[in-house]
């Protein structure tokens, strides 16, 4: 296992940033004084430089107050402020800064001639820029010099860096199987307190519902593997991240708070997360695929001509280096994230591809189709290794690998209605299907018995997704509502 050494000073800076973001300034100042380690960060370098260049000195003073900057550069900054206050005939404020601030006191001790020049300029009844700035220099150029000098002394770091690193560490441990889903972490005692294995129950009651517009209801939805996000892809092309506990849009994501949503140019027909929950793949009804960074909303990759028909299913590979896709054009494809190209075309289905998945090992891919088959493909060669055909050649609408024995469960029509999608719980004890009769069916996987039915919509049900760790199900339908169900 590769080890990474972290400097103690960097740990202190992470704590200092946390204190600053939570406005704990007295504690921040005390920590900086006792450790002699300065945070020296600003929210935005361009804004910092702009404030100096524009002469917004009140704002500049607030920004530099917690920073530790070289004395010479602070002297240059304060001297410029005094000069501009003299020019504006704000002599009282200029005198206050000149005689009662640390940088100007240091200037008086180190360069009395330069300090006396400022006193003399203040005593004059006029201000002549030719006497203040040398040849070829002016106020704007001097501001720019000072800004460029100070920008080299400060840094910009992502917000909530301490919490983000802790979260990433725990996610990585869980991804490696070191921490099972639902584990509670005791940071003070330095150990993982194992959550008691709770008995799984199937959802029985409506917990929350999200109302969409007539042209904006979800065509797809999914929970992230870490259980933090619920994402919907709508008919109008918008991709939205929700707080599934209160049914509201996640405004803690900066891009959503600014209404800069992820978007496709047509309806979003498929969504899938990478295993580390950091990337989201989206497919549209016009055959395009995009890959996003969920925390920033940045589009990392786009495949504008991925398929000639609507995207019906997407899956990331185990190492997050490939995206597997299925479409109404009957073809399964593998796209490389690094190359941004199609690497394999898996041909053999004779009707719509309805679902695609990688096996746990990642060497094989599974696909189901309206042609009544489930096919097993080699991801290395693209060849079909096995074909399973259901009795009667009826369409297969989705496939799920069960976690205990890694068997495959597929859904096909039964009775007089048609199942349109299947989901399972995290431990695989329950499986759920939604049908054309607008009902949610719950099956106990150990026996195959139908245990519960719940009417979930007043119009055609489009899909279902299950939270990875909690007994929460999301159903969405053409009645423009996404509903969250729990036990």
- pLDDT tens for residues 60-75? 998 888 788 899 999 9
Say yes or no to pLDDT of 198 above 80: no
> Which pLDDT value is given to residue 235?
95
| Residue 182 banded pLDDT, cuts 50, 70, 90 | low
Separation of alpha carbons 209 and 336, rounded Å: 37
When comparing pLDDT for 172 and 208, which is higher?
A: 208
| Residue 336 banded pLDDT, cuts 50, 70, 90 | very high
Give the β-pairing of 238-243 and 262-263: antiparallel
DSSP 293: E
For CA atoms 332, 334, 337, 343, the dihedral sign is negative
DSSP 216: -
Separation of alpha carbons 32 and 25, rounded Å: 10
As a dihedral over the C-alpha atoms of residue 58, residue 63, residue 66, residue 68, rounded to 10 degrees, the angle is -100
Of residues 433, 426, 422, the one with CA closest to residue 403: 426
| Residue 393 banded pLDDT, cuts 50, 70, 90 | low
**Whole-number percent of the chain with pLDDT over 70:** 86
**Whole-number percent of the chain with pLDDT over 90:** 54
Q: State which H helix or E strand residue 378 sits in.
A: strand 373-378
Say yes or no to pLDDT of 273 above 80: yes
> Which pLDDT value is given to residue 297?
96
Say yes or no to pLDDT of 153 above 50: yes
Of residues 418, 376, 425, 384, the one with CA closest to residue 404: 425
| Residue 26 banded pLDDT, cuts 50, 70, 90 | confident
Q: Exposed (0-12), middle (13-18) or buried (19+): which is 354, by Cβ within 10 Å? A: buried
Q: DSSP of 134-180, one letter per residue? A: -TT--HHHHHHHHHHHHHTT-B---TTHHHHHHHHHHHHHHHTTSS-
Say yes or no to pLDDT of 178 above 70: no
Say yes or no to pLDDT of 197 above 70: no
DSSP 393: G
Q: Pick the range with the lowest mean pLDDT from 190-194, 282-286, 393-397, 477-481.
A: 190-194
Q: Exposed (0-12), middle (13-18) or buried (19+): which is 434, by Cβ within 10 Å? A: buried
When comparing pLDDT for 149 and 25, which is higher?
A: 149
> Which pLDDT value is given to residue 395?
77
Say yes or no to pLDDT of 222 above 60: yes
Phi-psi region for residue 481, left (φ > 0), alpha (ψ -120 to 50) or beta? beta
Q: DSSP of 70-139, one letter per residue? A: -HHHHHHHHHHHHHHHHHTT-HHHHHHHHHHSHHHHHHHHH-HHHHHHHHHHHHSSS--HHHHS-TT--H
Query: What average pLDDT does the segment 460-466 reach?
Result: 90
What average pLDDT does the chain have?
85
Mention every residue, 6+ apart, whose C-beta is less than 8 A from residue 43.
156
Facing residues of 231 across strands?
Answer: 222, 241
> Which pLDDT value is given to residue 10?
82
Helices and strands of the chain, counted as H and E runs = 12, 29
Say yes or no to pLDDT of 176 above 70: no
Residue-wise pLDDT for 68-121, tens only, equals 889 999 999 999 999 999 999 999 999 999 999 999 999 999 999 999 999 999
Q: How far, in Å, are 23, 136, 418 from residue 446 at the CA level?
A: 53, 85, 23
Residue-wise pLDDT for 399-451, tens only, equals 666 554 444 454 444 433 334 465 655 566 778 888 788 888 888 877 878 88
Say yes or no to pLDDT of 164 above 80: no
When comparing pLDDT for 487 and 19, which is higher?
A: 19
| Residue 378 banded pLDDT, cuts 50, 70, 90 | very high
| Residue 481 banded pLDDT, cuts 50, 70, 90 | very high
> Which pLDDT value is given to residue 397?
76
Structure tokens at 194: 């194992």
């Amino acid at each position: 296992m590769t080890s990474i050494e972290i400097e103690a000073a960097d740990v202190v800076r992470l704590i200092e940033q946390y204190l600053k973001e939570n406005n704990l300034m007295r504690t921040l100042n005390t920590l900086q004084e006792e450790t002699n380690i300065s945070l020296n960060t600003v929210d935005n370098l361009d804004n910092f430089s702009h404030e100096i260049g524009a002469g917004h000195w009140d704002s500049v003073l607030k920004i530099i107050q917690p920073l530790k900057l070289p004395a010479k550069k602070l002297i240059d900054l304060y001297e410029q402020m005094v000069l501009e206050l003299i020019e504006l005939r704000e002599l009282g404020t200029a005198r206050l800064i000149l005689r009662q601030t640390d940088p100007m006191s240091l200037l008086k001790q180190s360069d009395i001639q330069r300090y006396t020049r400022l006193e003399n300029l203040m005593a004059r009844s006029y201000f002549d820029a030719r006497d203040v700035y040398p040849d070829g220099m002016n106020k704007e150029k001097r501001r720019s010099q000072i800004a460029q000098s100070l920008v080299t002394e400060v840094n910009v770091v992502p917000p909530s860096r301490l919490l983000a690193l802790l979260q990433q560490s725990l996610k990585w441990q869980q991804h490696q199987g070191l921490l099972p889903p639902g584990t509670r972490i005791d940071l003070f005692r330095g150990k993982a307190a194992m959550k008691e294995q709770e008995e799984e129950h199937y959802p029985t009651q409506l917990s929350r519902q999200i109302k969409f517009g007539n042209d904006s209801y979800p065509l797809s939805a999914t929970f992230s593997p870490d259980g933090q996000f619920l994402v919907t892809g709508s008919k109008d092309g918008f991709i939205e991240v929700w707080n599934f506990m209160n049914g509201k849009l996640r405004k803690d994501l900066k891009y959503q708070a600014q209404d800069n949503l992820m978007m496709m140019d047509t309806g979003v027909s498929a969504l899938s997360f990478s295993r580390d929950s950091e990337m989201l793949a989206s497919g549209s009804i016009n055959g395009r695929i995009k890959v996003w960074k969920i925390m920033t909303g940045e589009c990392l990759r786009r495949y504008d001509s991925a398929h000639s028909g609507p995207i019906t299913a997407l899956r990331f590979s185990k190492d997050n280096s490939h995206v597997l896709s299925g479409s109404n054009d009957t073809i399964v494809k593998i796209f490389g994230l690094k190359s941004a190209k199609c690497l394999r075309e898996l041909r053999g289905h004779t009707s719509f591809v309805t679902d695609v998945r990688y096996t746990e090992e990642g060497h094989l891919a599974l696909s189901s189709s309206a042609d009544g088959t489930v096919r097993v493909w080699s991801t290395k060669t693209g060849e079909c290794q096995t074909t399973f055909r259901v009795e009667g050649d009826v369409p297969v609408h989705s496939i799920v690998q069960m976690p205990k024995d890694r068997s495959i469960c597929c859904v096909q029509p039964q009775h007089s209605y048609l199942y349109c999608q299947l989901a399972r719980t995290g431990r695989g004890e329950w499986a759920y299907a939604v049908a054309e009769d607008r009902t949610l069916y719950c099956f106990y996987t150990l026996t195959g018995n139908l245990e519960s039915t719940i009417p979930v919509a007043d119009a055609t049900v489009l899909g279902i997704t299950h939270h990875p760790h909690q007994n929460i199900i999301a159903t969405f339908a053409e009645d423009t509502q996404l509903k969250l169900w729990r036990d």
